[in-house]
Amino acid sequence: MVLSHRVVFRWIVPVVAAGWSGALILAGMWVILEAATRWPILYVPLVAGGTSLLSAGNVVFLAGVADRLFPNARLAIVEWLEIISCLMFFLSSVACLVTLAFA
């Protein structure tokens, strides 16, 4: 049985994106809660990196799962959520890199 592209994009992509976003969120929570306490000298870069992982997981979930499962959602709300998540990812990544450069 050959799967059509509609089945792949409707069901397989959201399942893979949900797993990927879940892994990113769990990794971000571990970095913030556990790794930052293990290595206190790198506390600020690790918290910034964990926040970056959390927001990356949010972006993947919004783009890969929510947009496909709820295509009729109000576009203004969806756009603002995605913009805020992408901006938070960018700013936390920059903060992580800057604090690592000067640590």
What are the backbone dihedrals phi and psi of residue 85, each rounded to the nearest 5 degrees, phi first?
Answer: -65, -45
Parts of the chain with a pLDDT under 50:
none
pTM, rounded to two decimals: 0.88
What is the model's pLDDT at position 6? 76
For residues 39 and 74, give the distance between their C-alpha atoms in angstroms, rounded to a whole number: 43
What is the model's pLDDT at position 34? 95
What is the model's pLDDT at position 13? 86
* pLDDT tens-place string over residues 78-95: 999 999 999 999 999 999
What is the model's pLDDT at position 4? 77
Q: Which alpha helices (DSSP H) does 10-74 contain, by range?
A: 13-30, 36-38, 43-61, 67-69
What is the model's pLDDT at position 91? 97
